Amino acid sequence: MSYQDGWAALHLEMPPRVPRTEYSAHRHWALIEAVTGLPVDADSPSELQHRASSEFLRCWNYDMMWGVLTNRGELDAMRTRMGHAEYAAGGGDRDNDVSCPFDTPEQVLDFDPSEVYGTRDKVDLTRRYERQYADRCRNWPDLVNMTGVYITLISGLIEIFGWQMLLLAAGTDQERFGRMTDRYAGWIAQYFEALAQADVPVVMVHDDITWTSGPFLHPDWYRQFVFPNYRRLLRPLLESGKRVLFTSDGNYTQFIDDIVDCGVHGFVMEPTTDMARVAREYGRTHVLVGNADTRILLDGTREQIRAEVARCMDIGRDCPGFFMAVGNHIPANTPVESALYYNEVYEELGRR
């Protein structure tokens, strides 16, 4: 692991090797046992799991760990339960609870987050961000760590309303839906203001603004109601001198320029976002994280895995802030041999 290489890349100071991060692989117990030799699985004691995960991160030479603090739990007073498919090893993340507190699009359009969720104590929020960051640094002292917000704007609305009611309301009246979006942004701003005061150098801003096919509303709507709010939310973070990274699932290629204009320092991308285009236009000025296709690790041959790693390296190797990663995860059903071979090719091609 190399904090130095990760920190250099975050500041566009090209390290001698391409740094890397991954998501979920440090909870893929069969892979971890294969890499570390430690006998660990989903039912192992937490102390053993932590030790095995930490050893795995060292063996796979992680340089940065993705992380946020503010998530759907902040919305528990009123939010839709969409359930969750089995994803993690052992299926402990499966959730069959599906319910929605909203019956009509009108209820969505009239929703006022401040009335429902109230005002937070900003001093307490700031301390919470600092505690999480400090905990992560204690757990992974040789990595670049971070904290941040998962429910920034669109992701917050998805958690509150669920996809069905969200799309019904947006389709009923996009202007009113936009004004409700503004109200949500006004409420979540207190988290960004508190985070700006925290002694935390790196912040992850997560917001799933697109599907695999791209935007789910007209691009003009995003430019009227999403990106102006991003600029307001990010301003205190940027003024405090933090490095700000942005993550979205799906294909947000057509919004890259808009997000750059909001002031972020880098992008975390799934394979559907065109990293080659992003590298051509912003590869010298912004951090790029991604974006090998996880489906190739799940089902591909060794030749296809090698070609996918080579594709990412060919795009990112000359970009000073490039981090290799599989988007959007290396889940527990990834064949161990495929994951091992992916890492072998990364280590082979990762020297500059």
Q: How far apart, in whole angstroms, are the C-alpha atoms of residue 103 and residue 100? A: 8
Reported in sequence order, the residue ranges of 231-308 that DSSP labels E, i.e. its strands, are: 243-248, 266-269, 287-293
Q: Is 91 left (phi over 0), alpha (psi -120 to 50) or beta?
A: left
Amino acid at 223: R
Asked whether the beta carbons of 266 and 245 are under 8 A apart, the reply is: yes
Determine if the peptide bond prior to 145 is cis (ω within 30°): no
Asked whether the beta carbons of 287 and 9 are under 8 A apart, the reply is: yes
Q: What is the pLDDT of residues 158-191, one digit of tens each?
A: 999 999 999 999 999 999 999 999 999 999 999 9
Given a cut of 60, whether residue 73 has pLDDT beyond it is yes
pLDDT at 87: 53
DSSP summary character for residue 337: H
Q: What is the pLDDT of residues 101-160, one digit of tens each?
A: 999 999 999 999 999 999 999 999 999 999 999 999 999 999 999 999 999 999 999 999
Q: What Rg, from alpha-carbon coordinates, does the chain have? A: 20
Amino acid at 305: I
The domain tally of the chain equals 1
Q: What is the pLDDT of residues 239-253, one digit of tens each?
A: 999 999 999 999 999
- Assign residue 104 the CATH number of its domain: 3.20.20.210
Q: What residue numbers bound the domain in which 254 lies? A: 3-349
pTM of the entire predicted model: 0.94
Segment among 69-83, 150-164, 222-236 with least mean pLDDT:
69-83
